[in-house]
């Protein structure tokens, strides 16, 4: 059901959420195509979350009219305006932000701080496709608080979910049976081991306290333009459309949500952000290289108290990946006897038989990892792609009508394996530019200028050659990166270029031998349906697939015979599988309801034939401790 969250407390904000309302527990989907080898464990409970899309309160413009009086002065007073044209409702704000992640919420908070400082009143709306704020957020995460210190200096006194200080850094080179300790290139003193999904929920509360309107459960499916080709907002996806395209009884048309400034904070490979980058040629504007990506797969375990060392940070290189494939693993000791374990695999790998999910299962059987996990329980599973292009791949982030912020633009510091602090800072800088454009007569280009003079730019510039050095393999990459890190410190007079785009890097299957992966044991390693259950992934089955084939013939005519069906392996949720049709011929079946919204398919498909679009609002994973 298409709805805005109707907030019913007695607060001065008529749309403020009731703190006493219980979260909606959605039914979770389990693929019926593959049986689990063992019954899945009980679901993990979700911490209290006030930002949950709820049934029983369908959105309508009438809800907004009842909540607040509207007049011709509403725009000047910073109040949203509502109109209805051609059967679609339209709502207008001063600033519209797409995505309630670290960048989007930091931008919203900074905007309202500036309103308080300058005695201004701008309406700010944040639209989030997840059913709840933080529900789609997944990251390692060893958090660097630099940007948060600037945004909310008193966070340490305000019960932020940032409690476990990094206490040690270990760096291992893994062979099949050994973990060889190396000097750690990481310096996590002053950083914290956290759950980013929990931090984002906390930021959502801070945003709401400032009067920011946050609406989870809304998928931004289309960019709106005016007659001069300026971005004026987004359209949310229609709800209640069946698989065959007909309207169900629950049908509700999407809403046009407009902003005088629109900020896109969709995260890595944002579907609308990518369209804007291409439409306005934002990479060409600054001669940026193509973006390159990795797929991160993560589990959170609860382990024995005797094995738990809060704040311990471990990174690895080497096994189980081959020397030509860039990537590594992480093991972070959180609080409450929890550890975050993950494997990151660069998506420019060549072997079409490589399966990142199965590589992750192998990792858990390494003696150094196994001894920590044994006797423990998996609490949650998830996956997401991340940007690895760094400095070379940052597009011009400003377009007519708004800007791109956070991981949608790509500010991850690869050698640090950190991007939250840079994403937050980019959102804050964009907010300052938006405030200046709306209140002080400047323009959004100040975002680009201030970004280049900020610590974000300096940090990414000094780290620019680390990732492309590994184009030549693990050992040359380690040598070059060590020289950069310890001796030259990013001051070399040249910038290395990235290799082929990730989808172009995939070799033909005839050049490689199939990889035989061991079967999961149900104790340390698991099949995909069991892991999916732990992600709490849910989509309405009866809706058009949000995973679209540009040419429906390519899977059977190209991907299967030439690349041995790589989509059945690079996807960590078994969305893509080949089944026999009525004639006994293999045919691609898309299990869209399994989708974790990781975007790997949009990136890695050899012919760029798969387009990831948003499903109905509220669909996807429901992370609580990731």
Tell me the pLDDT tens digit for each residue of 146-187.
999 999 999 999 999 999 999 999 999 999 999 999 989 899
Average pLDDT, the chain: 88
Tokens of 240: 């209640």
Task: Name which of 373, 414, 368 is nearest 180 in CA terms.
Answer: 368
Q: What is the pTM of this model?
A: 0.89
- Calculate mean pLDDT across residues 395-408: 98
The predicted structure's pLDDT at residue 200? 98
487-534 pLDDT per residue, tens: 777 778 888 999 999 999 999 999 999 999 999 999 999 999 999 999
d(CA 444, CA 455): 19
- Calculate mean pLDDT across residues 430-434: 98
Strand locations in 586-625 (E): 586-590, 610-612
Q: What b/e string do you get for 94-113 counting C-beta neighbours within 10 Å, with b at 16 or more?
A: bbbbbbbbbbbbbbbbbbbb
Residues paired with residue 517 on neighbouring β-strands, in sequence order: none
The predicted structure's pLDDT at residue 357? 98
For 253, residues 6+ apart whose C-beta sits below 8 A from its C-beta are 2, 87, 88, 89, 238
Long-range contacts of 19-27 (CB under 8 A, 24+ apart): 19/50, 21/50, 21/54, 23/48, 23/49, 23/52, 23/132, 24/52, 24/53, 24/54, 24/55, 24/131, 26/131, 26/536, 26/538, 26/618, 26/622, 27/538
Tokens of 53: 């899309």
- Calculate mean pLDDT across residues 546-562: 98
Work out the number of other CB atoms within 10 angstroms of the CB of residue 598: 28
Q: Do strands 124-128 and 142-143 pair parallel, antiparallel, or not at all (unpaired)?
A: unpaired
450-497 pLDDT per residue, tens: 999 999 999 999 999 989 988 888 888 888 877 777 777 777 888 899
The predicted structure's pLDDT at residue 492? 80
Residues paired with residue 299 on neighbouring β-strands, in sequence order: 341, 381
- Calculate mean pLDDT across residues 28-32: 33
The predicted structure's pLDDT at residue 51? 46
The predicted structure's pLDDT at residue 615? 97
For 4, residues 6+ apart whose C-beta sits below 8 A from its C-beta are 15, 59, 63, 64, 215, 218, 255
Long-range contacts of 37-44 (CB under 8 A, 24+ apart): 37/519, 37/520, 37/522, 37/526, 37/527, 37/530, 38/522, 38/526, 38/530, 40/529, 40/530, 40/533, 40/534, 41/377, 41/378, 41/534, 43/533, 43/534, 43/536, 44/379, 44/380, 44/534, 44/624, 44/625
CA 510 to chain centre: 34
Work out the number of other CB atoms within 10 angstroms of the CB of residue 445: 14
Work out the number of other CB atoms within 10 angstroms of the CB of residue 550: 11
Task: Name which of 429, 467, 98 is nearest 289 in CA terms.
Answer: 467
Of 47-56, 283-292, 355-364, least confident by mean pLDDT is 47-56
Tokens of 566: 């790589």
Tell me the H-state helices in 92-164: 102-118, 146-151
The predicted structure's pLDDT at residue 82? 60
For residues 256 and 232, the answer to whether their CB atoms sit within 8 Å is no
The predicted structure's pLDDT at residue 65? 32
198-241 pLDDT per residue, tens: 999 999 999 999 999 999 999 999 999 999 999 999 999 999 99
In this predicted structure, the answer to whether residue 4 has a pLDDT above a threshold of 50 is no
The predicted structure's pLDDT at residue 2? 35
CA 75 to chain centre: 33
In this predicted structure, the answer to whether residue 536 has a pLDDT above a threshold of 70 is yes
For residues 126 and 197, the answer to whether their CB atoms sit within 8 Å is no
The predicted structure's pLDDT at residue 317? 95
In this predicted structure, the answer to whether residue 11 has a pLDDT above a threshold of 80 is no
In this predicted structure, the answer to whether residue 12 has a pLDDT above a threshold of 50 is no
* Residues labelled as active-site residues: 139, 384, 420, 571, 595, 598, 601
For residues 408 and 427, the answer to whether their CB atoms sit within 8 Å is no
- Calculate mean pLDDT across residues 348-364: 98
Q: How confident is the model at residue 315 (pLDDT cuts 50, 70, 90)?
A: very high
- Calculate mean pLDDT across residues 93-117: 98
3-state secondary structure of 416: coil
Task: Name which of 132, 265, 138, 127 is nearest 197 in CA terms.
Answer: 138
Q: At what angle do helices 455-462 and 420-435 cross, to 10 degrees?
A: 140
The predicted structure's pLDDT at residue 510? 98
Task: Name which of 373, 378, 333, 377 is nearest 163 in CA terms.
Answer: 333
Q: How confident is the model at residue 83 (pLDDT cuts 50, 70, 90)?
A: low
Of 40-44, 112-116, 208-212, least confident by mean pLDDT is 40-44
Tokens of 4: 């805005």
47-81 pLDDT per residue, tens: 444 444 433 333 333 333 333 322 223 333 344 56
Task: Name which of 624, 619, 623 is nearest 131 in CA terms.
Answer: 619
d(CA 497, CA 488): 18
Residues paired with residue 125 on neighbouring β-strands, in sequence order: 96, 213
Who has greater pLDDT, 535 or 469? 535
Tokens of 493: 């007079």
Longest Cα separation, the chain: 72
The predicted structure's pLDDT at residue 84? 61
Question: In the block, which residue shows the tokens 């929890």?
Answer: 338
Strand locations in 244-376 (E): 247-252, 255-264, 293-302, 312-318, 327-333, 338-346
């Amino acid at each position: 059901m298409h709805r805005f969250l109707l907030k019913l407390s007695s607060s001065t904000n008529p749309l403020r959420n009731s703190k006493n309302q219980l979260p909606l527990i959605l039914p979770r989907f389990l693929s019926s195509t593959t049986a689990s080898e063992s019954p899945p464990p009980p679901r993990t409970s979700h911490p209290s979350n006030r930002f949950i899309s709820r049934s029983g309160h369908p959105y309508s413009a009438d809800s907004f009219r009842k909540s607040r009086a509207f007049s011709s002065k509403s725009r000047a007073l910073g109040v949203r305006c509502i109109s209805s044209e051609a059967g679609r409702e339209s709502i207008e704000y001063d600033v519209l932000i797409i995505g309630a992640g670290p960048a989007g919420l930091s931008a919203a908070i900074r905007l309202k701080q500036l309103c308080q400082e300058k005695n201004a009143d701008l309406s700010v709306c944040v639209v989030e496709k997840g059913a709840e704020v933080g529900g789609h957020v997944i990251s390692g995460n060893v958090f660097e608080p630099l940007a948060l210190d600037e945004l909310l200096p008193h966070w340490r006194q305000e019960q932020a979910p940032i409690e476990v200080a990094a206490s040690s850094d270990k760096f291992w080179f893994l062979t099949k049976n050994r973990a060889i300790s190396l000097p750690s290139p990481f310096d996590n003193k002053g950083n914290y081991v956290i759950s980013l999904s929990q931090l984002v929920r906390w930021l959502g509360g801070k945003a709401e306290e400032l009067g920011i309107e946050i609406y989870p459960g809304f998928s931004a499916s289309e960019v709106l333009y005016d007659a001069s080709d300026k971005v004026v907002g987004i359209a949310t996806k229609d709800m209640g459309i069946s698989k065959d395209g007909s309207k169900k009884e629950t049908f509700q048309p999407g809403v046009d949500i407009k902003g005088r400034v629109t900020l896109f904070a969709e995260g890595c490979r944002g579907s609308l952000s990518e369209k804007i980058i291409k439409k306005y040629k934002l990479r060409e504007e600054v001669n940026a290289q193509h973006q390159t990506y990795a797929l991160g797969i993560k589990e959170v375990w609860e382990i024995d108290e005797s094995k738990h060392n809060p704040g311990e940070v471990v990174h690895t290189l080497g096994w189980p990946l081959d020397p030509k494939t860039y990537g590594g693993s992480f093991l972070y000791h959180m609080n409450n006897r929890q550890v975050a374990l993950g494997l990151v695999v660069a998506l420019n790998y060549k072997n079409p038989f490589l399966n990142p999910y199965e590589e992750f299962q192998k990792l858990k059987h390494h003696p150094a990892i196994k001894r920590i996990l044994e006797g423990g329980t998996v609490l949650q599973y998830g996956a997401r792609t991340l940007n690895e292009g760094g400095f070379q791949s940052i597009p011009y982030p400003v377009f007519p009508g708004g800007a791109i912020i956070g991981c949608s633009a790509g500010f991850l510091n690869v050698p640090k394996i950190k991007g939250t602090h840079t994403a937050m800072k980019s959102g804050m800088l964009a907010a300052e530019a938006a405030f200046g454009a709306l209140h002080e007569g400047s323009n959004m280009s100040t975002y680009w200028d201030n970004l280049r003079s900020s610590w974000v730019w300096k940090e990414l510039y000094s780290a620019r050659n680390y990732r492309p050095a590994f184009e030549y393999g693990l050992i040359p990459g380690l040598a070059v990166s060590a020289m950069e890190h310890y001796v030259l410190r990013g001051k070399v007079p040249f910038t290395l270029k990235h290799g082929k785009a990730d989808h172009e890097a995939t070799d033909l299957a005839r050049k490689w031998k199939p990889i035989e992966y061991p079967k999961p044991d149900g104790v340390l390693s698991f099949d995909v349906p069991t892991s999916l259950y732990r992600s709490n992934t849910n989509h309405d089955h009866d809706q058009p697939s949000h995973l679209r084939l540009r040419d429906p013939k390519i899977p059977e005519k190209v991907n299967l015979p030439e690349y041995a069906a790589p989509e059945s392996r690079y996807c960590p949720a078994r969305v893509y599988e080949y089944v026999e049709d009525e004639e006994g011929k293999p045919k691609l079946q898309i299990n869209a309801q399994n989708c974790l919204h990781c975007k790997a398919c949009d990136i890695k498909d050899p012919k760029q034939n798969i387009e990831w679009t948003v499903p109905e609002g509220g669909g996807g994973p429901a992370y609580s401790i990731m």
